[in-house]
Structure 1
């Protein structure tokens, strides 16, 4: 990370100013990683882990090194970021040389130039949890005051992520409902055309649309759109 440092309080204020209607969940994740990397004391690299079920992935990171440090843990299905995600606790690795809980991962981190780490659980919503991971270049980079600053940032980040996730889900649902309504409208138009041409009932018209859909291996909506478009061309001719 080569971006200028900033005061942790300014980072929290900037995080609070992010408008949910002008961003999406992925952008929020990247913003959290960036602000954490610029403001948390002794942070060399930062990443955000998300976990759904047993699957973990790095949703945002400040460098490929941060992503690799996480992915080594996913491969082994064990490590501080996964434990922090599951427990919601803060897990510190003060010294990669002396680390005994995850010795293989610590050795790889040490070889990559990382001396210590801090993972803080992020409860986001029922099916998705995560962790804010901070990696230091030297041993004992994260003393109690630094951990306190990181935990405060993580608390704000968890709220921001939960809100962004809810907003993103609500926006997706609204789009799906609008799409469904448009699909229903065109199907009703197609049924009206069939009823007018064949002098049949609404149920019979829909049954015909369904049969054409099955025979042609197309969605009912696609069949309806084609029928409505054909009728419109006839009208213009």
Structure 2
């Protein structure tokens, strides 16, 4: 891959990221671009697996079939993608019919007719990991040239994928914070209702909520929401036994 080609692909990935509504849309586009680039005489399907908190999840697909193949690997708890995520090395299955590694995975995959698999790590910083998974129905589909293309593709894509993962993580944290604040508001409002009806302190009202939560084995915020829902009634009942 020449410097001009590499620069063009970097710009392509950056534009794809900017134009995508979320990480899944971006990685779908990335997987499709990889599948097009690797499909010559033999059609190739690709996916991108992202692992956060050591849980691998398929986040990008060139076709639904790729997700089905990934799920077989996750269920088996072994396979080329899982090892690529764990070690940062490339894993190549030249012919599934003669492959002796990952027996649970290969046994589950054989009925699909897939013969060649290539798992290439996508370099990321931090605790997250990602890998490009490539599948073909012919044996030895990923020769030296295809393998090099996939390696270069993963290397060029790494910055854009890392940014997508980071943006998604920040979005998840913001959503968690918003949920926590919403829960805290509901609990405080419910405590206010109990204080008004029972003429108790705020600490006593919170303790009443906690006892109800433990007694009913229901989350505190759900207890609070149920109180607020009844508070909207003409004759609310917020007493606990």
TM, length-normalised to structure 1: 0.68
Partner of 2:238: none
Mapped partners of 2:181, 2:171: distance in 1: 15
Mapped partners of 2:21, 2:13: distance in 1: 12
Partner of 1:169: 169
Q: Aligned with 2:207: secondary structure?
A: helix
Mapped partners of 1:52, 1:139: distance in 2: 32
8 Å CA contact retained: 1:12, 1:153: no
Mapped partners of 1:97, 1:220: distance in 2: 52
Backbone CA RMSD of aligned residues = 4.1
Q: Aligned with 2:131: secondary structure?
A: strand
Mapped partners of 1:8, 1:171: distance in 2: 30
The offset of 1:142, in angstroms, is 4.4
Q: Aligned with 1:47: secondary structure?
A: strand
**Cα displacement string for residues 28-55 of structure 1 (whole angstroms, at most 9, x for unaligned residues):** 3322211111223535222334557887
Mapped partners of 2:232, 2:49: distance in 1: 52
The offset of 1:22, in angstroms, is 4.8
8 Å CA contact retained: 2:16, 2:29: no
Mapped partners of 2:44, 2:95: distance in 1: 15
**After the TM superposition, which residues 148-163 of structure 1 pair with which residues of structure 2 at under 5 Å, given as runs?**
148-163=148-163
8 Å CA contact retained: 1:20, 1:167: no
Q: Aligned with 2:150: secondary structure?
A: helix
Q: Aligned with 1:18: secondary structure?
A: helix
Mapped partners of 2:223, 2:67: distance in 1: 46
TM, length-normalised to structure 2: 0.68
8 Å CA contact retained: 1:45, 1:136: yes
**Cα displacement string for residues 107-137 of structure 1 (whole angstroms, at most 9, x for unaligned residues):** x77x9364x5433112446554342133456
Mapped partners of 2:124, 2:71: distance in 1: 20
**After the TM superposition, which residues 59-78 of structure 1 pair with which residues of structure 2 at under 5 Å, given as runs?**
59-63=59-63, 66=66
8 Å CA contact retained: 1:213, 1:220: yes
Partner of 1:4: none
8 Å CA contact retained: 2:28, 2:60: yes
**Structure 1 residues 71 and 202 mapped into 2: Cα distance closer, same or farther (>3 Å)?**
closer
Q: Which segments of 5 or more consecutive residues in structure 2 lack a partner in the other structure? A: 236-241
**After the TM superposition, which residues 169-188 of structure 1 pair with which residues of structure 2 at under 5 Å, given as runs?**
169-188=169-188
Q: Aligned with 2:162: secondary structure?
A: helix
8 Å CA contact retained: 2:51, 2:128: yes
Partner of 2:196: 196
**Structure 1 residues 231 and 41 mapped into 2: Cα distance closer, same or farther (>3 Å)?**
closer
